[in-house]
């Protein structure tokens, strides 16, 4: 039995609550993962996990061992990272997560250039517009856009995103005679709006005036979606008005397919952070990737 591998496997089973999830991470089988944990239990002479058809939970001994094992696994990973950093050779898997739109339109080119600089690193890029639990899914680095709420994560602010009110040129061309595009927030009540459901604000759109006061409008429309690329496509097709980040529609603004509305109404910039679990903050791969992305996003 490879004791370190078995310990790492046990830690991930507890964190994910699933043998099958760990099997997918290891490109292995559920049976192989179960055998590793069983071998560790035989070696220690105690039962670590209680397995049922619905859940995997720790015994009292398993919980105590998990806390120590997780600390040891993190320390070993840190020691290996320092060694690799000293050798200036990064290798192995790096799990990165971000939203679909940001991943495709902003992050992917920088992932490619990072891979060219570090050919022995294997990047596992997860694109998901929903909430991603970094610990449960074994993520090393994630891009999070918006206010951070989990203080246990290590965060590095690298850029900001500017949300703007926009409309497709096709939509404007279809407006009936006498109907004008929104000029003030209240005008949005008379227009179909496209709603992105993964934001806390959802259909409650807020704008600021020059004197610092704010106006909030609850909009409605023909489409709600949790996918930013779907929102972009429907905006382009003229199905309604969107309230979208600049990076998602920058090229459409340049081409004239999309037009910004209500430019006199201000919107607070949204922070963009690179975040990692605390156990990964000393990883040479994580630091190198974060530096690479931060430098790339800082360039105009």
Q: Kindly report, residue by residue over 28-76, the tens digit of the pLDDT.
A: 888 888 888 888 888 889 898 888 767 788 888 888 888 888 878 877 7
Query: For residue 283, what pLDDT is reported?
Result: 83
Does residue 179 sit in the same domain as residue 263? yes
CATH of the domain at 225: 3.40.190.290
Distance CA 45, CA 221 (A): 61
Does residue 260 sit in the same domain as residue 277? no
CATH of the domain at 51: 1.10.10.10
Q: Which of 132, 154, 172 is nearest to 261 (CA)?
A: 172
Does residue 95 sit in the same domain as residue 153? yes
Does residue 178 sit in the same domain as residue 137? no
Residue numbers of the domain that contains 292: 89-157+271-298
Q: Tell me which of 68-82, 154-168, 191-205, 241-255 is least confident.
A: 68-82
How many structural domains is the chain composed of?
Answer: 3
3-state DSSP call for residue 201? coil
Q: Which of 273, 36, 265, 1 is nearest to 160 (CA)?
A: 273
Does residue 261 sit in the same domain as residue 168? yes
Does residue 94 sit in the same domain as residue 68? no
115 has pLDDT over 90: yes
Distance CA 235, CA 242 (A): 7
Does residue 170 sit in the same domain as residue 232? yes
Does residue 195 sit in the same domain as residue 252? yes
Q: What angle do CA 41, 47, 52 make, to 5 degrees?
A: 110
3-state DSSP call for residue 92? strand
């Amino acid at each position: 039995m490879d004791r370190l591998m078995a310990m790492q496997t046990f830690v991930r089973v507890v964190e994910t609550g699933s043998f099958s999830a760990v099997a997918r991470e290891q490109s292995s089988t559920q049976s192989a993962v179960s055998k590793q944990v069983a071998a560790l239990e035989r070696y220690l002479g105690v039962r670590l996990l209680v397995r049922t058809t619905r859940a995997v939970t720790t015994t009292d001994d398993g919980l105590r061992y998990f806390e120590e094992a997780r600390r040891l696994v993190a320390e070993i990973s840190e020691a290996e990272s320092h060694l690799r950093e000293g050798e200036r050779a990064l290798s192995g898997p790096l799990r990165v997560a971000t939203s679909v739109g940001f991943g495709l339109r902003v992050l992917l080119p920088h992932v490619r250039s990072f891979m060219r600089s570090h050919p022995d690193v294997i990047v596992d890029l997860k694109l998901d517009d929903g909430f991603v639990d970094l610990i449960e899914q074994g993520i090393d680095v994630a891009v999070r856009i918006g206010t951070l709420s989990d203080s246990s994560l290590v965060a590095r602010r690298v850029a900001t995103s500017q949300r703007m009110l926009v409309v497709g040129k096709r939509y404007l061309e279809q407006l009936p005679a006498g109907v004008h595009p929104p000029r003030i927030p209240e005008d949005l009540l008379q227009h179909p709006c496209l709603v992105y459901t993964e934001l806390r604000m959802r259909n409650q759109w807020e704008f600021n005036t020059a004197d610092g006061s704010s106006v909030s409008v609850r909009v409605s429309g023909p489409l709600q979606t949790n996918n930013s690329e779907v929102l972009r496509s429907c905006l382009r097709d003229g199905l309604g008005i969107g309230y979208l980040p600049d990076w998602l529609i920058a090229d459409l603004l340049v081409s004239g397919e999309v037009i910004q509305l209500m430019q006199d109404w201000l919107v607070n910039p949204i922070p963009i952070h690179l975040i990692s679990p605390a156990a990964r903050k000393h990883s040479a791969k994580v630091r190198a990737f974060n530096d690479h992305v931060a430098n790339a996003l800082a360039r105009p």
